[in-house]
């Protein structure tokens, strides 16, 4: 394992409760009433913190569609993917849960869709590092993220950082992650290259500087409370 020698404040939470969303957080399970306030993007309380270090990626390819886990050749320990949405009872999505994540992998790519979520929508995402303590990566040697995608709806791509997640105690109105909205998905997969400077906050949360040395997670979601239907594959750092 290669680490950057910079100490960071990180809460002592397990990976299973570190899922993030475009306007809120939901555990990697079906939501409970306690998840509602965070999912609406309300102010989050600071959590008890401990010290850890950012992980420096050893390669560029993060995920190749082979399963729920990322590739250990690039990030060690590798993180895994999660499924999330707002708590609309009538909403449906695929994959419906992390337990069924691999069933949504078709021909080596993840096909996700959802409809009926009326608060902020839903999607899929990945915590980059699989440590028991939520841990960022230092991606400063890269220019951004690239991935293959196809679909029939808009797709929002978001990058969660130490500055926008409440676990690190640096924001009060958290989860306003830096993002870009992709509106030109087609039936045929295309490679999208998202440079760090392309990513902007929506503006409803605390203003945060985008620090490429403190990246935590990647999200692929609906465009707000809209239906989504897209396929993603070959997620990698952009050299």
| Segment 101-139, tens digit of pLDDT | 999 999 999 999 999 999 999 999 999 999 988 999 999
What pLDDT does 25 receive?
Answer: 34
59 versus 50: the higher-pLDDT residue is 59
Six token digits for residue 23: 């306007």
Measured from the Cβ of residue 212, the count of other Cβ atoms closer than 10 Å reads 16
Q: What's the whole-number average pLDDT of the chain?
A: 84
Measured from the Cβ of residue 87, the count of other Cβ atoms closer than 10 Å reads 17
Q: Binning pLDDT at 50, 70 and 90, where does residue 164 land?
A: very high
pLDDT above 90 as % of the chain: 77
CA distance linking residue 72 with residue 180, whole number of Å: 27
**Cα Rg of the chain (Å, integer):** 16
Q: Binning pLDDT at 50, 70 and 90, where does residue 19 land?
A: very low
**Domains along the chain with CATH numbers:** 8-238 (2.60.120.430)
What pLDDT does 13 receive?
Answer: 32
In terms of Cα–Cα distance, which of 173, 165, 133 is closest to 37?
Answer: 173
């Amino acid at each position: 394992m290669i680490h950057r020698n910079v100490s960071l404040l990180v809460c002592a939470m397990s990976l299973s409760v570190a899922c993030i969303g475009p306007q809120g957080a939901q555990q990697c399970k079906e939501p409970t009433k306690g998840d509602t306030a965070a999912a609406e993007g309300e102010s989050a309380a600071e959590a008890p913190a401990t010290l850890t270090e950012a992980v420096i990626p050893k390669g560029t390819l993060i995920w190749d569609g082979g399963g729920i886990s990322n590739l250990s050749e690039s990030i060690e320990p590798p993180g895994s993917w999660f499924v999330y949405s707002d708590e609309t009872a009538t909403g449906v999505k695929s994959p419906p849960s992390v337990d069924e994540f691999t069933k949504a992998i078709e021909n080596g790519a993840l096909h996700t869709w959802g409809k009926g979520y009326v608060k902020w929508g839903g999607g899929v995402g990945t915590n980059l590092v699989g440590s028991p303590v939520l841990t960022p990566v230092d991606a400063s040697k890269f220019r951004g993220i690239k991935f293959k995608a196809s679909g029939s709806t808009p797709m929002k791509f978001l990058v969660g950082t130490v500055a926008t997640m409440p676990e690190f105690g640096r924001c009060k109105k958290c989860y306003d992650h830096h993002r870009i909205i992709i509106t030109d998905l087609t039936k045929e997969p295309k490679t999208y290259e998202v440079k760090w400077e392309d990513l902007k906050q929506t503006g409803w949360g605390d203003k945060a500087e985008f620090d490429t040395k403190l990246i935590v997670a990647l999200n692929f979601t609906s465009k707000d409370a809209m239906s989504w239907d897209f396929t993603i594959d070959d997620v990698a750092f952009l050299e």
